[in-house]
Amino acid sequence: MSDFIQFFLNSVAPVAFVFFLGYITGKRGSFLNSDASGIFKFIAMISAPAIIINILITTDISSLNTNLLTLYVLSELIIYLSAFLFCKIVLKLAYKEALLCGLAASFGNHVLFVYPVVLFAFPSELITPVKGIITVDIFIFTFTLILLDIMSRPEIKKTIAALKQIQNPIFMGMIIGLLLRFCLPDEYPILVRGSEFISYAAAPCGLFASGILLSQTPLLGNIKMAAVLTIFKMLLHPFVGFLLIIIIGSYSFAEAQTTLMVTVAPVGIMAVTFANRYKINAEAVAQSVLWSFLMSILFIPILGLLGKEF
């Protein structure tokens, strides 16, 4: 029990504190949703791309366990497809809504929550799997946005929708990072330190803005859809991840610890932004973000403890 408390206090609590600070100040009216929108714009256009660039130019790719990464991505895609089909067939949502539900149920908030936690708690070799997941998820994220654009505007050409998302700052950050990685002969300190310094702002700013945004969300309301997203993300995704990685892949808890932590990452806050953009039930998505965040605060230290025991 003392190990659980120590892990929570040293790694999870400092990160969660920033979220609750935003939540409290949002409830008090000190910060408004418009303030959160400005912060998210900075993260999406500047800080998040800097994280991607820094990951790509500093990570030792040879140390990346591609088999472990593949098993995680497979678990994510299984949850994505399952949530999509459930929302389309059982809840009878439109294709656009079901697609966003698939993304929300599988795409966790690893950049703003899990990544800073593992930076606090783990050595570099256990941080690398999370970096790999962040990079691969850019493709799933971008592909979903292309489909959402096509469904929202049937008149738009598929090539135009794709080109529009290629200009997404996060995707551009990946392209720039890859070019710097493979075109420059040496690692330039100004690029490494500059991208690292900017990236430091993403997690605290994003968590604070998330707290502000979710402070306006009722805990109860659209219970059915919020519960479905939360169950898929916080219960089914860890189960499928455990089955594929530990049972089928035969990895130990210690080897797969940080990868499994991503399976219990809360629903990504960007799902709320996209729900608003594409006129989908944003309140239900926001509730699932809030519920899953509270659950993740408990689940991540449990996995931290299991990694030491097994």
> Dihedral (C-alpha) 231, 307, 112, 131: value to the nearest 10 degrees?
-110
What is the tens place of the pLDDT at every residue in 86-119? 999 998 888 888 888 898 899 888 888 888 888 8
DSSP class of 310: -
Mean pLDDT computed over 136-150: 78
If you average pLDDT over each of 75-84, 122-131, 132-141, which comes out highest? 75-84
Give pLDDT tens digits for 201-238.
888 998 999 999 888 877 666 788 889 999 999 999 99
Contacts of 70 (CB under 8 A, 6+ apart): none
The tokens describing 179, both together, are 């070019």
Task: Lowest mean pLDDT of 149-153, 174-178, 266-270, 300-304, name the range.
Answer: 149-153
3-state secondary structure of 217: coil
The domains of the chain, with CATH numbers, are 2-304 (1.20.1530.20)
- Give the pLDDT score at 140: 82
At residue 79, φ and ψ (nearest 5 deg) are: -65, -40
Q: What are the tens digits of pLDDT across the range 155-203?
A: 666 666 566 666 777 778 888 888 887 777 666 777 778 888 888 888 8
With beta carbons less than 8 A apart as the criterion, state whether 12 and 204 touch: no
| Res 70: pLDDT | 95
